[in-house]
Structure 1
Amino acid sequence: MSVQWQKSSFSGAGGENCVELADVESHILLREGESPATELVGSPVGLLGLIREIKSAARHEPE
């Protein structure tokens, strides 16, 4: 099976320090550009929860 990865629009032009996503059947795959062999597998609902948690933590982080 061929997986089509999509690089985050927040990634730099050089390709380092990027996050990539792929939609495979009913799962979402995530990987870091520097370590593409390591993939996280989750559900779309789980990914949404992760994104909400990260945004919430960023808003409450002291400056």
Structure 2
Amino acid sequence: MGRPQPKCPIRNGEPCSLCFPGADGPQNCGLVYLVASDADLQDEWAASRTQRGTTQAAATATLNS
């Protein structure tokens, strides 16, 4: 059985690609820290997640019609 792959909390649904130098997962990623500590970035991130979810729901509804 393989080692579990952590998911990136910023890029929803994608695995952690260790894009931040020195990070070994989301738990010590500087990008995750910056978004979590900045209220404006949190709002923007939440809005993009909502938009992405709405777009995916519409695509699924179209396919099921």
TM-score by length of 2: 0.41
By percentage of residues, which structure has more helix? 2
TM-score, normalised via structure 1 length: 0.42
Task: Mark the structure with the bigger radius of gyration.
Answer: 2
The structure with more strand, counted as a fraction of residues:
1
